A and B are shown apart, each in its own frame.
Chain A
């Protein structure tokens, strides 16, 4: 399996994801945002960081960069895109995913381990995880407060596009386990065809117990499984 990691000015998790991909035998190819050519890959990754210094709105300027029109074409061939943290913000700003990520409700940058519940495991990104399994993965963001209007929230629910919800250690999705004020504890969603996935937690920071946790590996294993089939 091959993956293109898009590097924007201000990306800072691009090399972490590169190392993680190699660990799972997914070949990473680094692609600069100003390029107009996307190599033939199965998966595009929009990494975490602070693209364009978070100017205007997080992810807004990156979503209009040259390579993004190629990334949009790539999704139309039903190929995979994974956006982590700032990558998720870029996906909502580009319109590849619905909704928006606003400033955390407590106005603080939050960097800590949290728990997320896997709501839908019938996607290429979660196929190797049991439904309702609880994963411990770190978050590190200032704008992770997911919002969408009522009508579109209903669509997300009906189409099973909500993939991850913040929860406590036991898997209870409640207000206390919501770190950033996100609507119904949303931590990760896909598009209607399940080939574009955006999430705030950083699986590339938790794929080996040496990093303090290995629950992120299940997402990479799922991708690998999808690549094999």
Chain B
């Protein structure tokens, strides 16, 4: 089974990389962009076949390693 994990910065956390990307988009003409937030995507293959179990396990992985809950949120979904 393939899972996809999205890790994004929490709302109140400043994202200087996102701002730099926004400025660059403005420079190449995409003036309508008002905000950019950068995040991460992880794709995991697992030998676990039970959907609920693998979702739960992946959430644990997020809490323990993939995300830092002080500044980041995460979302897990089944990709395939």
Contact with B along A101-116 (1 / 0, CB 8 A): 0111111000000000
Contact partners of A149 in chain B: CB under 8 A: 12, 70
**B20, A147: Cβ atoms closer than 8 Å:** no
Identify which of residues 152-204 in chain A touch chain B, using a CB-to-CB cut-off of 8 Å.
181
- Please, how many angstroms separate the alpha-carbon atoms of A209 and B9 in the complex? 42
Count CB-based A-B contacts (< 8 Å): 34
CB of B25 within 8 Å of the partner chain = no
Give the size range of A's interface with the partner. Answer: 20 to 34
Chain A neighbourhood of B16, CB < 8 A: 103-107, 181
Residue A79, interface by CB 8 Å: no
Residues from chain B with a CB closer than 8 A to the CB of A148 are 70
Distance, CA A13 to CA B8, complexed state (A)? 32
Contacts of A106 in B (CB 8 A): 16
- Asked whether any CB of chain A lies closer than 8 Å to the CB of B28, the reply is no
Q: Is B71 within 8 A of A60, CB to CB?
A: no
A-B contact pairs, 17 of them (CB 8 A): A56-B66, A57-B68, A60-B68, A64-B65, A92-B70, A99-B70, A100-B70, A100-B71, A102-B13, A104-B16, A105-B16, A106-B16, A107-B17, A147-B70, A147-B71, A148-B70, A149-B12
